[in-house]
Structure 1
């Protein structure tokens, strides 16, 4: 699925998502040099990742819902987002309460949705200046 929304050029934004991975556009501040090719302006991710407006964590370890644990959610709490979008793959899955407890205890909002929907929602919220973290399972 290709995303073509015009958004602020100084944030990471998700250009494309498929089962093969994510294509994330770089913030303007990360693009150095003249004559950059389109390949130089994106990061391609083929495994689960966390995308924030100012940072990508490309080694988030759970690769599917059955691998998701509370310690992975604690990583999200350390980032202190206002809201976490948990992209759970092709379909929406809601994790057990003990897995998401760290977010609830920290007072951080969380929404569960398929990864494609999480990508679209992230782009909208980041454009609005919200402190959002998209935790995306690429499955």
Structure 2
């Protein structure tokens, strides 16, 4: 049997999710980060979804998403209403889920060519 590497497309995709790191293509990232199909912004200064505020909204919107997925760690944790409202006021949808679900959803939508951004919250080292 021949085995070959099948990459899902010409976009940055999530290969693996662990409690303290996420593998994007072939690179492990162990601090919170933002991921769009064409770029990653590492060292997003967030370690707990409950502390998100208006300042973090702007950094996510800078990637010009049509939809935002917030991965909040091993468990789903809802951020403050002010954070969520920052997207909704601009007409950008936002969904909140654990990191594993966020990665699967992002890969699916990015594979369809959607302009999706996923924000992964990882615990401090």
Interval containing the TM-score (normalised by the shorter chain): 0.7 to 0.9
Gap change, CA 1:131 and 1:105, over 3 Å in 2:
same
Coordinate RMSD, CA, aligned: 1.6
Displacement of 1:5 in angstroms is 7.8
> Which one of the candidate residues 78, 101, 106 is aligned to 2:62?
78
**Structure 1 CA distance for aligned equivalents of residues 122 and 59 of structure 2:** 18
TM-score, normalization by structure 2: 0.88
Find the residue that maps to 2:65 and give its secondary structure.
coil
Q: Is the 8 A contact 1:77 1:106 kept in 2?
A: no
CA distance in 1 between counterparts of 2:42 and 2:24 reads: 11
Hey, which bits of structure 1, 4+ residues long, moved more than 4 A?
Answer: none
Q: State how 1:1-139 maps to structure 2 within 5 Å.
A: 6-8=7-9, 10-25=10-25, 42-139=26-123
5+ residue gaps, structure 2, are none
Query: Does the Cα contact within 8 Å between 2:87 and 2:93 map onto a contact in 1?
Result: yes
List alignment gaps of at least 5 residues for structure 1: 26-41
Please say if residues 13 and 123 of structure 1, whose CA atoms lie closer than 8 Å, have aligned partners that are also in contact. yes
Query: Number of residue pairs matched?
Result: 119
